[in-house]
A and B are shown apart, each in its own frame.
Chain A
């Protein structure tokens, strides 16, 4: 079974350019997460989806970041315009989302490393 698939793995752009990341979660996982991981830090939640509904986007900088999960499966995370401080790894994760302990065990993708010049 394929794990959480993310693309692109690496992206280098100039500041003020737009960028988009794509995530395909594990089949059957209703809950999808986007995390930001800065160098030397742990993952920090940007947004969480339950099916197609964004149930927690409190940490998403909405002036430049947007996300969607239109059919409750794949998801995209967009940054427009990108700033130097956005250089980081963007991790997508999914879980069963059935509540209880299973909901907390996340399966992560390999991440998309963004470098903004």
Chain B
């Protein structure tokens, strides 16, 4: 039973355009959401996060939107750059410090020249 779902295994976007990566979750107890980025042969690196008390968090070219009623979040990258080509993992955890962090399966983003 997947609690965090990334239904698009891959996504191709033209350089300079907006990339939108989507994530759905099923557990209403999730309180904190994160996006990680992973290059080949490297570990995932933290990109951006959002708490459930917010519906938007922005950091430079990266913005995460949270729709709690739909149990949906999305990561927007604009403008997309070649270095953004990577696998992006959505992750979620509950309110308590001991709650597990659950990762989605990831979406592979290809930025086309």
Contact = CB atoms under 8 A, between A and B. Distances in A.
By size class, the interface of chain A is: 20 to 34
A3 to B, nearest CB: 8
Contacts of B46: 105-107
Interface centre among A44, A91, A97, A104 (most CB of B within 10 A): A104
Interface stretch (B59-67, B72-80, B99-107): B99-107
Interface of A is mostly: loop
Contacts, number: 56
Nearest to A93: B43
Interface in B87-113: 89, 91, 93, 97-98, 100-101, 103-106
Nearest to B50: A101
A14 interface: no
Contacts of A99: 97
A44 B41 contact: no
Nearest to B42: A110
A7 B4 CA distance: 30
Contact of A101 (B4, B45, B51, B91): B51
A25 interface: no
Given A43-B44, A101-B49, A107-B46, A56 B100 contact: yes
Given A56-B100, A103-B97, A110 B41 contact: yes
A40 B100 contact: no
A65 B103 CA distance: 22
A103 B89 CA distance: 18
B34 interface: yes
Contact of A105 (B4, B34, B41, B104): B34
Contact of B97 (A42, A100, A110): A100
Instruction: List the 6 closest pairs (A to B, CB-CB), nearest first.
Output: A108-B43, A42-B103, A99-B97, A43-B103, A108-B44, A42-B105
Interface of B: 4, 9, 32, 34, 36, 41-46, 49, 51, 89, 91, 93, 97-98, 100-101, 103-106
14 contacts: A40-B105, A41-B106, A42-B89, A42-B91, A55-B98, A101-B32, A101-B51, A104-B93, A105-B46, A107-B46, A108-B45, A110-B41, A110-B43, A111-B41
